[in-house]
Structure 1
Amino acid sequence: MKRYIKIRHWNYWFGIYGFSEFPTEVEFDITSDSRGEDIVFHFDLMDLDCMEYYIENNLYIEKEDEGYNKFLESYKEFLNGAKLHLVTILYYPTSIFKNNFNYKIFPKYKIGSLLDIKNNQGESPYYVDIFIKERNVLAPWKLICHMKEIMLDLFGEEVELEIIDIPSYKETLKSFFE
């Protein structure tokens, strides 16, 4: 099956010293059409630099949140284990306070595929945050390799991927200062 990656934006600014050479986070859609209009799923893919920045600065999950200790425990297991990616938050279509997202560590809760993890309204997620256990690997030429593995693990099928839109470094820099 062929799918397309439509990048919404590359984030270069989570580097420790500000704007970094390589993107540390990329937000994008997987679509079924080459125009990028028929969205299958939304992703936010982050590397270790981004994850460490979030944890050190209490930006991803607040220390007061009931899921914080579980998140840190999963993070440590992730760093010391064989998994190359860590799914931490699933977002669902229903926008009811505290019910439209859920902290889940996947594939620990794996039933079949990511779409089998339903919320309390019986809905499948449409958006997911994923961390990968590498640094400086989110450049376009490496994104497809990571996503092929992730798609196989999370959705249970091999997918041929093509990037249809890549914002330039200048476009990303401009959006950073806007």
Structure 2
Amino acid sequence: MNVTTIYVHIRHWHFWWGVYGFTRRSCNDEITLYLDQEGIKRIAYFDLMTLPGLLNHYNNDFEDDDYTDDKEYIEEIQAFIDGDIDIGYSYIYPRDTEDESYQVDHSAPLNEKGHKPTYIYVWSKLAEAWDMESITAHVHLLARQFLQIEVENVVFLDQPSYEDTKAVYDEECARFGVKF
């Protein structure tokens, strides 16, 4: 199946701060994919992490975090870091019957209970940090992998102007009393 255009929404301002050069480019972003420019026909949601972002997560987030009980997740990260593949995935599956209603609608691996994931982490060695070009390349890969579609165009929704991004950046810096 071919789809002419996929529309992408980036969840965090930090991505745009990096795009416009106010901070280093981000290494972890959440994206939502839509079939329409209005952002109504949602087709997928992914958490994208570059290798530097994953290494930071691995080295800094497990000491006092809830992950310390998730040995399998830590082993998955280590295997990806040490392995030869360029794109890896980690899946969160429903923990109870209430979570079952949050399974992804698209194609994804089933767990031993026959459930699809509720959340998908994408780990990539193909980009050091995220910019519009690397996000676009990954959307093409994810569309093929999980949606079984070929995409001709990727359009970013809600792309803020330089001025709007600068204003939000300045507000956040003032609010927290730091430069990001």
| Structure-1-length-normalised TM-score | 0.67
Aligned partners of 1:36, 1:164: CA distance in 2, in Å? 8
Provide the residue aligned with 1:79 in structure 2: 81
Aligned partners of 1:171, 1:141: CA distance in 2, in Å? 24
Q: Secondary structure at the match of 1:3?
A: strand
2:68 corresponds to 1:64? yes
Aligned partners of 1:3, 1:145: CA distance in 2, in Å? 12
Aligned partners of 1:11, 1:96: CA distance in 2, in Å? 32
Structure 1 residue 158: Cα displacement: 1.9
Q: Secondary structure at the match of 2:138?
A: helix
Retained in 1: the 8 A contact 2:48–2:124?
Answer: yes
Aligned partners of 2:56, 2:141: CA distance in 1, in Å? 25
Gaps of 5+ in 2: 16-21
Q: How does 1:158-173 map to 2 (within 5 A)?
A: 158-160=150-152, 161-167=154-160, 169-170=165-166, 173=169
- Greater fraction helix: 2
One of 150, 164, 167 as aligned partner of 2:142 = 150
Retained in 1: the 8 A contact 2:51–2:81?
Answer: no
Map Cα deviations across residues 86-124 of structure 1 (whole Å, 9 max, x no partner).
211335597737x7889xxxxxxxxx941x52684x654
One of 37, 60, 81 as aligned partner of 2:40 = 37
Retained in 2: the 8 A contact 1:42–1:126?
Answer: no
Structure 1 residue 8: Cα displacement: 1.7
Gaps of 5+ in 1: 13-18, 103-111
Map Cα deviations across residues 48-104 of structure 1 (whole Å, 9 max, x no partner).
222122212235974532x32x2233223323333222211335597737x7889xx
Provide the residue aligned with 2:119 in structure 1: 127
Aligned partners of 1:151, 1:158: CA distance in 2, in Å? 7
Structure 1 residue 136: Cα displacement: 3.0
Structure 1 residue 45: Cα displacement: 0.7
2:117 corresponds to 1:117? no
Retained in 2: the 8 A contact 1:49–1:135?
Answer: no
Give me the CA root mean square deviation.
3.7
Structure 1's 51 and 171: CA in aligned 2 closer, same or farther, altered over 3 A?
Answer: farther
| Structure-2-length-normalised TM-score | 0.66
Retained in 1: the 8 A contact 2:87–2:123?
Answer: yes
Map Cα deviations across residues 142-169 of structure 1 (whole Å, 9 max, x no partner).
2101221132223333223222233465
Retained in 1: the 8 A contact 2:58–2:77?
Answer: no
Question: One-letter code of the match for 1:4?
Answer: Y
